[in-house]
Structure 1
């Protein structure tokens, strides 16, 4: 980001924006650097104080910017409390800073700017009652299918919005490893939601279908591709239906699984499976077909989110 006048960087908010490509976001918090008077100049991890012009680099995890500033530049007028024209960041703006996710970790960089995401989610169906501004701030853009949205950073998708769903909470619940939601809301916020969700799920007693004799692997089990697909095929054969284009193909004879066989989407029977449904954990569809279904075709549970999955 270019600043024609160095005095612009007397603003803490403007200093924070210079850290858009900061390489150590997980080690040294850019907000604390900006608050301590620093702005990013590069290359690598070099920063400069806008008030004393001191430069620091070679940051280590958990270094405190203000402490390092005082150690190396004790005569800085900003640290001595003099009137230097510093403009602190307003509380509301500090609570929701601009995205500082490293560019190489972003799945959909075209939606990095909140304005672009907001324009996108404005096209969501009216049945979605959530505030469009909040959805965009939470990192989501509209996919163009139903009420499905995706995070620009982690690529996680959410759908089937309920009236009381909070975009930030749902983001943290289903995609707790997303770097954007952790930077924006903090690790404590995400970890608390993840822990509460895990406790709630562990206390649930999920009904088992009396007709199913061959259980489908769940989300917490290690995915063995052969056993998973054989179980899916058995499940679909039990449901019957002759002449249907979506009917399961016959399972391979014997116990040998031909490595040449593709793992086929069980809806279109053409593309490979590539999306895992949450919360059930089933992997049976390609990404395109998931846009046209609301429930998992295996267990019939509502699909709340999807995760792009790559099979080795």
Structure 2
């Protein structure tokens, strides 16, 4: 790599480390002109796409780079991050494991722990997250998520409390703490608190809405949950979270409606698409899902194939 390009690489790495995304993008543009095929440059481009949450672009570039540079630990790691962001957790796991084989790193082990948590492989994930915490990495919220997934909500809350004590005022910690506190409160209390806030015209805390719907289902208020889902203002993210809760409580019709409300934000998640298609078949709502696929396919061409598959299943009866 020429001297000017080497200086640009240093500049790009510094900008990425300092989270100066615009400066990093400028340096990257110059680098791609100076050394367009250099694997280090392509790897840094992938890191920039990951850091700036350009998930679809990152996934597409990752697939190319893993094919062309399979022995690069850095590329395997960044490809794993792209897959993780796209919720392709099995692919993420494979890439983090390959990165760790090529060049052992506390970062690859941390992210492997995160991917294994999402796959429900808690026994393998927990030692990796604990190791990351011991190494000084910020992994306590990841550990709390694992503990919550295992059903140890009180333990998860204690873990989050420790994190919040060291990061006072951090919004993500405060939201997580409030959500976990809601998990250990009687469901009837949650329902009453949310509906009292609404009656007073107060803004509803979005991070508690999934627990509100879960509480309605736990207290045999499915009709109320159905009515609230129809009338309540929800973000796409909250709608998807509520959809998973409804599915886990075997409220298929509510899950489908919630998933349809949040479809745009989850349309690149393979597990989500398989689940909503299964629900559509179960509820005889395939035609509605085909229409939704047709609406979003111009911006997400991969939906064309799924739309055609659904149409074939309908024609076969």
Under TM normalisation by the shorter chain, which class is it?
under 0.3
Normalised TM-score (structure 2): 0.25
Max Rg structure: 1
Q: Larger % of strand: which? A: 1
Higher RCO by CA contacts (8 Å cutoff, separation 6 or greater): 1
